[in-house]
Amino acid sequence: GAGVSQSPRYKVAKRGQDVALRCDPISGHVSLFWYQQALGQGPEFLTYFQNEAQLDKSGLPSDRFFAERPEGSVSTLKIQRTQQEDSAVYLCASSSREGWATQYFGPGTRLLVL
């Protein structure tokens, strides 16, 4: 496809379950970003990859959050032992190069932790 895709679009998890969220960036885009968007708020940065290298993970809220991009294209955001405060929309974005390049966003994964 032409744009960023994410799966699943919706995920309901019981507290304590592990979840994995997938992002397929635009083909050829070297930079990939994960953001978390709480209800009524703007997206907040979680982590950033340039190719397979995770260059910035300063926004990950706890060590329960882990992201990877092993081959420099598809990325997975994993949340272990989910908590209710993890409920949010998780957005993935990609850009063609590093720094001051337009980020194109996927539709997001809406996570609800019960």
For residues 107 and 49, is the Cβ–Cβ distance under 8 A? Answer: no
Rounded to the nearest whole angstrom, what is the least distance from the CB of residue 100 to other proteins in the complex?
5
Q: Does 31 bind other proteins (CB under 8 A)?
A: yes
Separation of first and last alpha carbons in the chain: 33
Min dist CB 102 to other proteins, Å, is 6
Residue 10 and residue 21: Cα distance in Å, rounded?
Answer: 10
Question: Between residue 58 and residue 97, which ones bind other proteins under the rule CB under 8 A?
Answer: 59, 91, 93, 95
Pairing of strands 31-37, 19-24: unpaired
Q: Is 4 in the site for other proteins (CB under 8 A)?
A: yes
- Asked whether the beta carbons of 65 and 5 are under 8 A apart, the reply is no
Among 21, 67, 108, 113, binds other proteins (CB under 8 A): 108
Pick from 8, 18, 81, 98 the residue near other proteins by CB under 8 A: 98
Q: Does position 44 bind other proteins by CB under 8 A?
A: yes
Q: How many helices (H) and strands (E) does the chain have?
A: 0, 11
3-state DSSP call for residue 28? coil
Residues that bind other proteins (CB under 8 A): 4, 6, 31, 33, 35, 40-45, 48, 55-56, 59, 91, 93, 95, 98-100, 102-108, 110
